[in-house]
Amino acid sequence: MLGLNSAARARQIRAGSLPLKLGPGEFVLFIGHAMARQALPLSSFFLLLLEAYGLQLQHLTPYSITQVVIFVHLCEMFVGVKPCVSLFRYFFMLVKSGKSQDEIGGYYFQTRFGPPTPYLSGFGSGKWEDWRTDWVIATTESHERLALPTSGPSLARKEWRAKEKLPEAFKPVLEKIGMLVKDGLTLMHVLVDFLKRRIAPLQRRRLAAWTYTGPDDCGRVQRGVDADLSQDHLEVMVRGITGEPFITEHVILPEDVTPLCEDQGLRMVLLTTLPMLDDMGVAVRQLGGDPDRGVRISKVGAAPTSQEAQPTSSGERSRRLQCQGGSFVGEPASKCQRTEGDPGQSSSQSHPPGGSPGPAAPASPVRQPSLTPPRQEEQQQGPPPSPPQQQQAPPSPQ
């Protein structure tokens, strides 16, 4: 189920025993969570979702793991965006299980009733009998959200049901989900799609599901045609996860719904029209912040420095990348000619081609660009000086 078949990776799983003794990076992994398609290492989105609610992994029931898994694959394969915590909280709320006598498996995610945008319908809450008794010890990267819980979630209970207020940028995403619901896409369709492709949506992967290329795709738990599920194995997994019978007619995708990995044109349209999301919500670069990441661009029309390019024929000055410290990016200081009268500098002479120095060049009346913008009183004295011209070398002697 986890794809840990190789001898090296098989050591990531070992049998557990009591009293419980965990080594570095080890945590308790319930078999029910693995059946619900939780794979290692965990994705940054899933860890951030646990962080947002103050949950430990073992707080959740296997059915909640299934809900998160389906949400992730829905976003990547059918909507065309990365999953994010804000969108998840728009459709789901955290609920305390009334039957649970301890913190392990005492909480689950429930779909909100009657949101403006409907969510996928399908199977109900699967019954996982005595799932707390089946567990192993797994090894992965250490994370505080993998420790066994000793108390409830750290998020205040009044915040569990608080509905996320999505910004306007999410409107096309919600419209796309509403269209998929209208076309007949269900939870079962999404579940069967990632099971057949051997994708574990909660596993940390380099690429999103919409880039899936086939049996040898790098996002598969097990690669190769030989690793594809047979129809019998698929039926067993669906019944084990949902607790419902496998009905072939219920797992065939509606005619108007196409996985994005199978339609490159549709995928490109969606990727260019939908907002770019990260694990939390709309990517920062679309909300403002510092899109230049500390790099500053000189304003057009400002007084050029000696390191800036000369004016173009259209009269506009070239724009240069400048770091916060004032230095320009990716270019050493240029060697500029100095005019007589520059303090602390000797005059510079240019030599004509041919090797023989010509007569000394007369002092150029051309005003060199200043390293600082002109003061306001200087600007008011008259029209701005004409753009500096490149100093010409004198003609060679006859």
Q: List the end-to-end C-alpha distance of the chain, in Å, as a whole number.
A: 89
DSSP H/E element including 321: strand 321-323
Work out whether strand 135-139 and strand 13-15 pair parallel, antiparallel, or are unpaired: antiparallel
Residue 129 phi, psi (nearest 5): -80, 130
pLDDT tens digit sequence for 58-93: 999 999 999 999 999 999 999 999 999 999 999 999
pLDDT tens digit sequence for 281-310: 998 754 555 544 454 444 444 444 444 444
Work out whether strand 321-323 and strand 13-15 pair parallel, antiparallel, or are unpaired: unpaired
196, amino acid identity: K
Band of pLDDT at residue 193, cut at 50, 70 and 90: very high
pLDDT tens digit sequence for 317-333: 444 555 555 555 555 55
Least confident of 166-175, 277-286, 310-319: 310-319
- Give SS3 for 281: coil
Residue 199 phi, psi (nearest 5): -100, 140
Give pLDDT, residue 6.
58
More confident residue, 373 or 239: 239
Q: Which two tokens stand for residue 72?
A: 């992730």
More confident residue, 142 or 354: 142
Greatest alpha-carbon span in the chain: 106
Give pLDDT, residue 4.
60
More confident residue, 249 or 100: 249
Mean pLDDT, the chain, integer: 77
Give pLDDT, residue 272.
86
Instruction: Indicate if the pLDDT at residue 162 is higher than 70.
Output: yes
